[in-house]
Amino acid sequence: MSRIKELKKKLISEFDMMDLSNAKLFLSMKIVSFRDGNGLCLKQPRYLDKLVGRFSMENCKPTNIPICANFVLSATLSLYHFIRDEISVGIVEVEIISTEENPADMGTKVVPYSKLKHCLNLLEIDDYG
């Protein structure tokens, strides 16, 4: 018998209560079990709707967060710690780059042709069209 079943049995024998099976809602969060039984997913649609409304973002376009599908955040491992560890072993290098010398600008926003040409030169791309 599992430890949870034993605990339920002791509590039912001690107190006037009954087992209502798996929880589906807790503190306004929906609880969804994974089909394989190896985890739970907590959803907060009402809270998120209120948050989006609070910042007048109802008409904004949704987007995906670029994190690998198998990446798991936990109390001991967070994205911050993952990146910090990659930096500490030298896999990732962080540099401060001024806006004028940032070639990523050409891929993240509309830039004038002169800025595009400058960004391509920073990346040592000579043949651009």
pLDDT (tens digit per residue) in 19-68? 777 778 777 788 887 777 677 777 888 888 888 888 888 888 777 666 66
Tell me: do 48 and 89 sit in the same domain: no
pLDDT score for 115: 86
Instruction: List the one residue out of 117, 87, 92, 93 whose CA is nearest residue 103.
Output: 117
Q: What is the pLDDT of residues 83-110, one digit of tens each?
A: 777 788 888 788 788 888 888 888 888 8
> How many structural domains compose the chain?
2
pLDDT at 7: 84
CA–CA dist 22, 90 (Å, integer): 46
pLDDT for the residue numbered 127? 62
Residue 26 DSSP SS3: strand
CA pair distance 10, 3, nearest whole angstrom: 11
Comparing 1-10, 70-79, 80-89, the range with the smallest average pLDDT is 70-79
Domain end residue (candidates: 63, 80, 98): 63
Q: How far is CA 63 from CA 30, 60, 91, in A?
A: 22, 9, 28
Q: Give me the pLDDT at residue 66, please.
A: 65
42 in the same domain as 20: yes
Q: Are residues 84 and 44 in the same domain?
A: no
pTM, two decimals, is: 0.33
- pLDDT grade, residue 18 (50/70/90)? confident
Q: Do 58 and 78 lie in a common domain?
A: no
Same domain? For 13 and 45 the reply is yes
Give the tokens for residue 99: 């806006």
46, 102: one domain: no
Rounded Cα distance, 64 and 70, in Å = 15
